[in-house]
Each structure stands twice: as C-alpha cells, then as structure tokens.
Structure 1
Amino acid sequence: MDELLEKVWSDVNSYRYWEKNERILLAVSGGVDSMALLDVVRRIPEESRPTIEVVHVHHHLREDSDADLLLVKEYCERYNFLFHEKHWDPHFHPKSDIEAAAREFRYDFFSEKMKERNAAILLTAHHADDQMETILMKLTRGSALSGYSGILRERKFSIGKLIRPLLETEKEELYRYCLENNVPYREDSTNQELNFTRNRYRNQILPLIKKENEQAARHFQAFSQDFLDMTNIVEPVLKEKIATYFEKNHASWQFSIRLLENEPIALQRLLLTYFLEKIWSNEGVIAKKIHVALILELMYNKNPQSELSLSGGLIKKRYDTVIFEKTSGLEEDLKKFPTIYKELKLNQWLQLPINGKIGLFSFSKKSVAVGNEKIKVFQLSNKKIQYPLVVRNWQPGDRIQLNPREPFTKKLNRIFIDKKIPKEDRDKILVISDANGIILWIIDYAASIWLTPIENDLTNNEDPEHRFVVFEK
C-alpha cells in the first residue's frame, strides 16, 4: 500500500471522518493536490470507502482552464463518480480582490451542493505547504488571535463539516504519489505569477525556510496544533471573565475600570482582544488589534472623560466606566466625517477625505519643490519614532509635545481652542501617530518636536534612513 494512501486511511479510521458508503463531496480543481486526494480516497479499502461525488468550479480566469474541467470530468467518468460543475461568469468578476471573490463563489457552490445532495462532508486538498503559507501570511500582516493557528484540519461548514485529510502532507509527496500512480493533473500557470501575495510566499519564501530545515512543514503543523490547543483551553476562561466584567445594556457594553484593573495586564489585553474580535465585531463594529492598546491608554490616562471612534462604534471613558456603543443609524453616520485609520506606506501617497494628500517618503525616493505654498515637508526624527505611522482621526485625550525645551505635552483640544478652530471643523482634523501612539503632527495645524520643517528643495541622498512627511493640498 502506498505511504500516502496508508496515512490517509489511518487518519480516516483514527478521526472517524465518515462511515462506510457515506456520501461525501470532494472539491477537485484538476491540480496535483486535489487529484492526488481524489485518487487516494478512491483507493481506500472498501470497508472504509465513502460514496464519492466531485465538485468543480470553472472560474474562467485562465485561457487553459477548460482543460482542467475536461481532465476532472474524464477521471470521474472513468471511475463512475457523479460530477458537479459550475461556471463563474466573467461578467461578474470584480476588478479587485479577485482571489477572495473567487473563493467566496467557490465555497457558496460547495455549500449549495452539500444541501442539494444531502452530503454532510466536504473534502478539500489543503496540504502542509498551504499551512506554512497561511501561518506566515497571518503573522506578517496581522490577524485575529484565533487566526494564528492557521488552517484547521476540520471545521463546521454548511450542513456538516469541511475536512482536510492532506494537511500534514507536503506538496512534494503529492507530486511523487501522482507520478508513481499515473494520476493525471494539470499545473496552474498563474501559480508562478508573483503579483499574487500567496504565490510570493510559495515560490520565494517557503523554499528558503525548507532549505534551512527540511522538517519545517512538520514544525509549522505542530505549532498550529499547539496554538489551537492553547486557544481551546484559554477561550472558556475568557468567556467566563467577559461574563464577570462586561455588562450589556441594550445596544451597548460596559465594564468598570476599577474592577478590571485588578487582573494582570496580560489578561486585560486578552479580554479586550477577545471582546473586540469575537463579540463586538459580530455586531458590525470593525476593530483592529491596535485598538486594544488605545483602549488601555484610554483606561489609564488621567482624563476622566475621553472617547475613541471606530468604524461603526464608539468607545467612551466616563470616569470609572468604559462604554462600547454602536454608532447610530447609517444616515446619521454618513453626515459625520468618516472614521480614518490608514497606515502610511513608504513612498506612497494617501488621499485624504479633506482636500489634499499625504505621504511618507525616503530621502532618496522623493524630490519635492518645497517653495510651493501648497506643499509642506517635514523630516522625521529617527530617535524615538516607531513604525508604522498611521493617519487617524484625533481623539479626546490625545496629546502632543510641541516644545523641545519642555517635557510637557499639550492636549489637542486646548490647541484647537487656542487657535480658535470652530467646533464643527474639529471633527475633520486628522493626526499622524507612530506605533506607540505618539502624535507627530496635527495635519496642517501643529507639528510635534519629532518633525522638522524643510525649507529647501529635497534632492537625492544616499541615506535611506531619512524619512519625510509630505503634505500637498
């Protein structure tokens, strides 16, 4: 018996994926991964073999994808598997984020077929290399806490569950299996295109990691399982603590700072993270991990009343109480200045909702005519600033240090009063802050000690460490 077949058969018996002759759907694209899985499940000994039906989506994203469909269809005809196909009309292809849209279309079809065929199990051919890519991508770009465990071997889906029997199998093993057993498959030419994020990880980063350690894939899978185990242990504790400290009142939540501050700071962070990711996000509020630090700052600053705006929500400190409120109706929200929280990416412009654009540039990459009165340029001090920088709405309680000879900070609200800025204009004011929350600039109003105005034209310089904030009205 082939090593891969033996491994999958052993897992089927150990995890009791299905009963003999139970109807399952197997998602097959025609690539080496899914064709290997289809062939392995076909060859499972009769006492454990399910009734196989194949689902295939033709995305119409490649000129040669007709051949993928034909290959899968011919294989199914050869072995008498019921074959279900669906086509994604190119007229409905979005202009951006097509990978996510394709995935949504694909899984909607799988769910639809599971219900239609009364099949409680869907198999997909995600493998160990997919697991490595997923974990690396989530660590790199950030994720909800639960996301760091990567791809799950089994999860609830549609009317049943989705199972990934190859999750501990490296792609190299799948190629070897298909070669040794004459299993046909097709290569997706777009897998080599580096304009897709996952392809860059697959073709550039994973080979380097595997070169460092041939057992890397196994270690990533072990990390995934360890993290999942830890999450499963911690989550009930967090739920219990949420029930203890958080109180729901109609459309809002609240907790007492005095009570929560008795817990270790690590537990406070976990509780706030869990609340934002698992509870408030389900109520339509968009919160990011950076907001946990901002909430803690709001809790412990000396201002008895302050607020933090999120997309769809408002967090208010009222003396000892922190209140989480959903913003009222869409029509009222549209009247307000939009909530902004955008990272400044190096050498890229960011269009602002007010007139103007702003950017973070390296000295060697940007040349600007500073004499233009519509352009402001500041050099950043590298001594204390932590990247990334973000452009966001100012918040009550925000402070800025304006005088290098004085270690004191000044409230933004006081600056607005001193400058006689009308209250209705204050909601439109944006700030730049660093990763530690230090306010660097009240855009177009006041610069901190960490920014130095540039009076002369910028010219090329070999020092890439110099960073400049450029604002153009």
Structure 2
Amino acid sequence: MDEWVRRLLAFKDEHGLWREGDCIVAAVSGGPDSMVMLHLLHTVSDTERLQLVAAHVDHGFRGQESANESTLVRTFAAKLGVPFESVTLDMPSYIEATGMNSQQASRMKRYEFLHAVAARHGASHIALAHHADDQAETVLMRLLRGTGTGGLAGIPVKRRDKNVELIRPLLRINKAELAAYADLHSIPYAIDSSNEKRDYWRNELRLDVLPYLEQHNPQLSSSLNRLAEIASAEDQWMQDETRRAFDRLAARSLGSFCELQRADLASLPLALQRRLIKLILNYLSMETAGLTPGDKADFERIEAIRHAALATSPTTWQTDAGGGIRFYREYDRLRWWIGEPHSRKSSWPPYAYTIEAMDDVLDVPEGGLSFRLTNAVTAADERGRYGADFDADQLLFPLTVRNRRPGDRMSVVGLNGTKKVQDMFVDLKIPPSERDRMPLLVDAAGQVLWIPGARRSAIALTDAGTTNVLRIQAVPSTTNIE
C-alpha cells in the first residue's frame, strides 16, 4: 500500500473522519494541496466505498488566472471520473457593497457554496485541504496575537458545521510531502500568485517569520503541530468538564438568561471558572461564540466577572459582558441576561390587590404568589416563613397586597420604632431585581404588616387570648409573571 494512503487511512481511523459509503464534497482550489487531497480520496474511494464530488470556487479576484484554475480542476476531476461543481463569484463588488473584510466575506461565500453542493448531493462531509504547515502557521499566529489553550489547539481535525462535518484529512502531512506526492503521481496544480504577496499577515508570517524562527529551531513546524495535538486533547477534556459543570450548576433559558450561585462558581478550580463563564456567554449569544480566555479584551471581561463572584467583592454589581449580554451579581446569585431583565426595566409598575373577605384566595401574579386566607379560632404553633397569623380584631381593614412604595416602613418585632423596608431588603439580601416585585401586606392605614418569606410586623400579634385569627399562607402563583 502507498505510504501516503496508509497514513491517510490511519488518520481517518484515529479520528473517525468518515464511514464506508459516505458522500464527501472535496473543496478543490487547484493548488497542490487540494489537488493531492482529491487524488488521495479518489485512490481510497473504491475500498472505502466513498462517493466524491469536487467543488471549486472562483472568487473573481485574479481574472484569467482564476478562470484557468477552474478549468484545471474541472479537467482533473473529469480524468478521475469525479463529479464537478463550480461557481464564479464577483467578490470585489460584494465586498464594496457590504464593506466586509475581504477574507471573511470570501470565506462566508465559499462555505455557502460548499454547503449548497453538499445538500444537493446528500453529502455528510466536506473535505478541506489544510495541512501541517497551515496548522503550524495558525498556532504561531494565535500565539502572537494572544490566545488561551483553546487557541493553541489550532485547526480542528473535524468539526460539525450545520448538518455536515468538516474534515481535514491532510492535517498531519506537510507541504513538502504533498509536493513530492504530486510530482510522483504527475498531478497538475496551479500556484496562486496572491500567496506570494505580503498583503495578508498569514502570508508574511509564512514567508518571513517562520523561516526566520526555523533558523533557531529547524523542527519548529513539527513542534507547533505537536503543541496543537496536545492542546487539542486537553482542551477537549476541559470542554467536557465545563459542560458537565454547566449542566449541573446553571439554571438557564436559551437566548434569555443564565444563573449560577456564587458559591458554586467559586468552588470550581480557577481554569474551570473561566471556562464556565465563557461557556455561559457562548450559550447566550452567537456574537460571543469566538470568545477565548486568551484574547485580551475577552480575558479581561471574563476576569471581571470571575472577580465579581469573590466573597470580598461588592455584593451587588453589574457590567456589560459583551454580545448584548449584561452580567449582574446580586448577593449570592450571579445572573447573565440578554438585554435587560424584565424586573430591571425601570422597576415593576405599581400593583395593588384588595382582600375582599376573611376566607379568600388572592392571586398576585406580579409577585409570583397566591394568598390563602382562612379564619381560625387559635393561632398555629408553626407557620414557616410563608405563613402568618394575625389578630383580626386588631387589624385595620380592608387589607391590601401591593409592591413597595417610597417611604414604606415596618414596625418590626423586637425593634423599637420602625425600619425602612428598603433597609430591610438590604439586610435580608433581597436581590435589587426582585425588590420592586415583592408583595407586601398592608392595612387600611398603609402600615406594612408582612413581607412573605422575609419579616412580619409587630402589629396585630396573636397571643393566648386571641379568639379571631386571620391566617394567611403564601404559595407560588399559578400565573407567575416573569
């Protein structure tokens, strides 16, 4: 068996690049790398029972040179008996009209075409001809720009993109080996003249930076590829650990919010804390899908959030987390929202519900609670934080359930005088986002009698002589508003 074919199949088995009978769209530019890839895939297509389609994109940048490359690929595909599809784009006009970066725009349109070809042929894979030298360039470029371990993993061997898998079967073969293979098998190819121009940083890095560094380490490309392999495996393990922590600890709603307990985040190892924050940002917004803890701006944003969760940090804090996301720390609760949470939009509007009878059920959807009122002869020994007994004969009716108003105060049991409800919320660590929605029970004089789940007042306390007890139990509302 040909040595290159053996290496290709071993790489395929190691990474599960395809299965027998799969249809693969091969992206072929006409350069030596992609032409060799097409030839190799065709060589194994019978034994692997592969269906191949060659797909070529002329971006319209280089006139006749680009047209010649299209003809070259078409002719070579026909010689191999591989179906061929191509498209000619006017990228200069598209870039002028959209103002997009030329490389980003070209990549976007190229992938649109490849996906369309895959859909027409029922292909499960798109093969791309990135090789070991490309990997070395990518890792070095990310190192120079600043990256985390995820960036050091470089170009992935395979990844899911929409409904197909992008695979890179040449990622462990260097360019010199591919050129030798092309010469051995008389494979025609074109040299893209733009690859020799230093207009793009990648070209400058390939033409100048790498050769200079290789004077100090002739095996630099191999070292960078080895680093990518190590980082890729370790990064995958960290991703899996982060996903498990996310599933275990995070309450969330896709495209809306995510919430953690401060202690849960703080209990994780430092590396996992950063990863989990990154995952939450990615979960909420596609704009942040490229976040890596190594990118300076994103690293600083992630660190600001992580530091906000420390016990020594302010207990209430908020910041712009990027991508349309805002982060809030509210005591021991950490929350990420797309946009502005409902409860922060200039607070909840005032609401008030009057209690009509001693035996009644009053639903307060804004506060997330329903109030069940019953008349009893004696007070209960144990009511819990969401239950309260009052001496009905000492109450000023009618009673009202409403949210807070400026100046609200409560006469607290065991405290001389009154205390501001706002100060009580702070003492009780009620999150600011919840304060304007919390229901308060008040009497006809506007005195605050009870804050369910928090405190009751010293007004209308029951004792052994009480014979007319108003018992109120607060339970979750069936029409809770979020």
TM-score (norm 1): 0.63
SS in 2 for 1:221: helix
For the residues of structure 2 that align with 1:178 and 1:283, how far apart are their CA atoms?
Answer: 41
SS at match of 2:309: helix
The aligned runs of 1:71-470 (5 Å cut-off) are: 71-90=72-91, 91-94=93-96, 95-143=99-147, 146-248=150-252, 251-276=256-281, 278-282=282-286, 288-300=298-310, 302-311=313-322, 312-328=324-340
Could you list the per-position Cα deviations for residues 418-447 of structure 1 after superposition, in whole angstroms to 9, with x for gaps in the alignment?
xxxxxxxxxxxxxxxxxxxxxxxxxxxxxx
Deviations 1:266-301 (A, max 9, x none): 43333323333x323348799622211111333345
Q: Which has the larger radius of gyration?
A: 2
**Alignment correspondent of 1:57:** 57
Match of 1:155, SS state, is strand
C-alpha distance after superposition, 1:27-58 (max 9, x if no partner): 10000111111222233384236332210001
Residues 286, 310 of structure 1: 8 Å contact kept: no
CA distance in structure 1 between the aligned counterparts of 2:308 and 2:10, rounded to whole angstroms: 53
> Could you give the per-residue CA deviations for residues 349-396 of structure 1, whole angstroms, max 9, x where no partner exists?
xxxxxxxxxxxxxxxxxxxxxxxxxxxxxxxxxxxxxxxxxxxxxxxx
Instruction: Please give the alpha-carbon distance, in whole angstroms, between the structure 2 residues aligned to 1:259 and 1:14.
Output: 37
The Cα offsets for residues 33-85 of structure 1, whole Å up to 9 and x where unpaired, read as 11111222233384236332210001001132111111111112223221100
Letter in 1 for 2:94: F
Q: Using a 3 Å threshold, how does the CA distance of structure 1 residues 326 and 199 change in structure 2: closer, same or farther?
A: same
Cα 1:199–1:56 change in 2 (3 A) is same
- Could you say what secondary structure the match of 2:26 adopts? strand
Does the CA-based 8 Å contact 1:285-1:326 persist in structure 2? no
Residue 4 in 1 paired to residue 35 in 2? no
Q: What is the CA deviation profile of residues 182-220 of structure 1, one whole-angstrom value per residue up to 9, with x for unaligned ones? A: 211111111122121211221122223444334333332
Tell me the amino acid that sits aligned with residue 281 of structure 1.
S
CA RMSD between the two structures: 3.0
Change (3 A) 1:249 1:137: same
Q: Distance in 2 between matches of 1:50 and 1:242?
A: 39
Q: Are residues 1:39 and 2:39 paired?
A: yes
Letter in 2 for 1:69: S
Q: Are the counterparts in 1 of residues 24 and 123 from structure 2 also a CA contact under 8 Å?
A: yes
Deviates more, 1:230-239 or 1:5-14: 5-14
| AA matched with 2:321 | L
Between stretches 67-76 and 1-10, larger displacement belongs to 1-10
Quick one: structure 1 residues 137 and 285, their matched pair in 2 at CA, closer, same or farther if it must change by over 3 Å? closer
Q: 1:222 is paired with a residue of what secondary structure?
A: helix
Answer whether contact 2:265 2:309 (CA < 8 A) is retained.
Answer: no
Give the percent of matched residue pairs that are identical in Structure 1 and Structure 2. 25
Q: Is the 8 A contact 1:31 1:185 kept in 2?
A: yes
Tell me: CA distance 1:205–1:284, structure 2 relative to 1, closer, same or farther (3 Å): closer
Distance 1:295 1:177, change over 3 A: same
SS of residue in 2 equivalent to 1:125:
coil
- Which deviations, in whole Å up to 9, do the C-alpha atoms of 1:108-129 show, x marking residues without a partner? 1111111111121221111001
Range with greater deviation from structure 2 (136-145 or 75-84):
136-145
Q: Distance in 1 between matches of 2:21 and 2:272?
A: 48
Number of the residue aligned with 2:375: none
Is the contact between residue 306 and residue 316 of structure 1 (CA under 8 Å) also seen in structure 2?
Answer: yes
SS in 2 for 1:212: coil
Give the C-alpha shift of residue 12 in structure 1: 4.3
Distance in 2 between the 1:142 and 1:14 partners? 30
How many residues end up aligned between the 2 structures? 330
Does the 8 Å contact 2:31/2:191 carry over to 1?
Answer: yes
Amino acid of the structure 2 residue aligned with 1:151: I
Opposite residue 73 of structure 1, the aligned amino acid is: R
- TM-score, normalization by structure 2: 0.62
Q: Where does structure 2 lack aligned partners over 5 or more consecutive residues? A: 292-297, 346-482
Q: Which runs of 5+ in 1 are unaligned?
A: 334-473
| Cα deviation, residue 142, structure 1 | 3.9
Q: Distance in 2 between matches of 1:12 and 1:265?
A: 35
Aligned partner letter, 1:291: R
2:373 matched residue in structure 1: none
Q: Comparing 239-248 with 59-68, which one deviates more in the overlay?
A: 239-248
Query: Given that residues 260 and 334 in structure 2 are in contact (C-alpha distance below 8 angstroms), is that contact kept between their aligned partners in structure 1?
Result: yes
Indicate how the Cα distance of structure 1 residues 246 and 41 shifts in structure 2: closer, same or farther if over 3 A, else same: closer
State how far apart, in whole Å, the 1-side matches of 2:23 and 2:284 are: 38
The residue type equivalent to 2:31 in the other structure is G
Q: Partners in 1 of 2:12 and 2:302 — Cα distance?
A: 42
